[in-house]
Amino acid sequence: MRGLRFVLCGVIMMSAFLVNAQTPQYAYRIGFKDKQGAPDLSNPLSLFSQRALDRRNAQGISLDSTDRPVSPVYVNDIFTTISGKLHVTSRWLNQIVVLLTDTSNIAAVRSKPFVAYAEYVGYFGSGLYKQISEGDTGKMQKTTGSSAYYGTAYDQTKLVNGDYLHDRGYKGKGKLIAVMDEGFAGVNTGPVFDSLMKSGRLADTRNFVYNNNDVFTSFNHGTGCLSTIAGNIPGTYVGSAPEADIALYVTEYAYGDMPIEMDNMLAAAERADSVGADVISASVGYNTFSSPFKSLVYADIDGKTTVAAKAANMATKKGILFVITAGNEGGGGWNYVLTPGDADSAITIGGATLNRSAVSSSGNGPNAAGRVKPDVCMLGSNVSVMFTSTTPSYLGGTSYATPQLAGWAACLIQATSTNATPYRIRTAIIKSGHLYATPGPQMGYGVPDFGMAHNLLNVNDTPKEELTSVNWVMATPNPTKDVVTVRLLMQQTGNATISLIDASGRLVSKNQYNFNAGKQSIQLNMPASAGMYLLKVNANDKQKTIRLVKQ
């Protein structure tokens, strides 16, 4: 998989200039030793939105030195030595990326006492920017349980029991998902995105490749990915978080593979932090770079070394769940997950089929440090995605598996209120995986069950569950230690068969009952062995299956 291929806060662009379309540009990553002269944290609202500060406060995350911008004094000094364009900055790693047409003074930059390194990370033969506007500082631009409801997205919803969350009113409302990709052509015109655009839920946009706000470019990989989250035409197509707020960030350069794209991702993650994102979804990854840039080796994907992995880990420390693709290198010369899919704290997504087997091309783990990767798998073959029409496309790859999970995770965060940490959400999702007891190199902990993840979180603010004609069987508590209470709504007097099956498919118990019409309740003793079980209820030509966890 070629690498599919963010707040300047206090830094003013030092040299705006016109670039001839045929003039080459060279990208350099310049790191600083400290932050002398950078704005302090006495006025956090000058650096972060109130939403971002509220997210941190809810999780007990304090502002620290990594939240201070890079020093404008140092940036000014750099641009007294070179003539170029400030591309992106990183407060987390205390570095900038500049674009130069003349590299003769790089040695002088390296010799400055406050410069830690100056690394060559990109080359653009015809120039990356055709025109740079004077004074463009990159400032923030404000800008249910059946196929009859979900349409062609039903199979991928049913696979992970996602409708469990939607049935309880959790559709991502009030949560912000930042999506990083190559381009989002048609999102501003496609019918499936109407509710997103017309409701004002597109919270932020930025193109980090071309340093402008145009994300509706000619590339539509991100469009398809976004549809699995934000698509919302009931009866035709409903994504995993159709009521979430969305930020769209272009980080991927379409015409080559270079390390600078990881810097774009880092900048986007920092911007997502500053606008208050709860989840980042990135269907981009890296292992091979075009000459003369050095490609990665397996030892590099140790969860903490690459710029992209550092971005994912820092975003997590700031309270954002970072959802990333495993990549499609399985069975190939590379075979492993891509970075930042190796990142320790990211939740890395592989591809599965509808029968919960691995998609052969899905990237393998573990990472070079031995950590299980991918973490879990979502549908990664014949995924229903939407572009600018109401006719679905069926595509494969972990790119389309990743945003599905990002949306469901936003729904979980909504259910648990604002104090849900990334670690808590990630752990619940992993523990709900069907291979949790026996993780493997290609599927990790397996396919998650979001009903089970919801219950593992011990949510206290869930709306009271009532039996209805649609939600006619319930089992509580779940997880359970000894006894589970099965409640069901009988539409008419008749027989009901209740079966319990263990994870290996063995029938543990099967009992038949004669119930009167109306609400009924029985208690079922669980086996001694801990693990996952299936509760199957058949009554009056209806069937319902519930996953139970025995602790």
User: What φ, ψ does residue 508 adopt, rounded to 5°?
Assistant: -85, -45
In this structure, which amino acid lies at residue 511? N
- Same fold for the domain at 25-124 and the one at 147-456? no
DSSP letter at 45?
G
Both tokens of 536, joined, read 């199957």
Residues 6+ apart with CB under 8 A from 292: none
* pLDDT at residue 479, rounded to an integer: 76
Residues 6+ apart with CB under 8 A from 198: none
* pLDDT at residue 139, rounded to an integer: 33
Contact 407, 229 (CB under 8 A): yes
CA separation for the pair 465, 483 (Å, rounded): 19
Give per-residue burial for 253-280: e unless 16+ CB within 10 Å, then b: beebbbbbbbbbbbbbbbbbbbbbbbbb
- CA-closest candidate to residue 325, choices 339, 315, 304: 339
Torsion 467-472-478-484 (CA) sign: positive
> What is the SS3 assignment for 74?
helix
In this structure, which amino acid lies at residue 142? K
Both tokens of 117, joined, read 């390194």
DSSP letter at 440?
B
The pLDDT tens digits for 83-102 are 899 999 999 999 999 999 99
Beta partners for residue 485, in sequence order:
476, 523
Question: For the chain, what is the largest distance between any 2 Cα atoms, rounded to a whole number of angstroms?
Answer: 87
CA separation for the pair 227, 248 (Å, rounded): 12
Strands 176-181 and 245-250: parallel
Residue ranges per domain, the chain?
A: 25-124, 147-456, 473-550
pTM comes to 0.77
Containing H/E element for 395? strand 393-395
- Compute the CA torsion angle 252, 256, 257, 260 (nearest 10 deg): -60
Torsion 251-388-191-323 (CA) sign: negative
Say which CATH superfamily domain 147-456 falls into.
Peptidase S8/S53 domain (3.40.50.200)
Contact 401, 408 (CB under 8 A): no
For 131, other C-beta atoms within 10 Å of its C-beta total 12
Residues 6+ apart with CB under 8 A from 183: 215, 216, 217, 218, 219, 220, 221, 222, 223, 250, 252, 254
Both tokens of 445, joined, read 């902990």
DSSP letter at 46?
G
- Compute the CA torsion angle 355, 361, 363, 364 (nearest 10 deg): 70
CA separation for the pair 328, 2 (Å, rounded): 9
DSSP letter at 298?
G
CA separation for the pair 462, 264 (Å, rounded): 38
In the chain, DSSP finds a helix count (H) and a strand count (E) of: 13, 22
Helices (H), 82-220: 106-110, 147-150, 154-159, 163-167, 194-198
CATH architecture of 25-124: 2-Layer Sandwich (3.30)
User: Cis (ω within 30 of 0) for the bond into 366?
Assistant: yes
End-to-end CA distance of the chain: 40
Decide: residue 376, CB within 10 A, 0-12 exposed, 13-18 middle, 19+ buried: buried
DSSP annotation string for 482-521:
SEEEEEEEESSSEEEEEEEEETTS-EEEEEEEEE-SEEEE
CA separation for the pair 66, 63 (Å, rounded): 8
CATH architecture of 473-550: Sandwich (2.60)
> What is the SS3 assignment for 249?
strand
Residues of the chain with pLDDT under 70: 1-22, 129-145, 418-419, 459-466
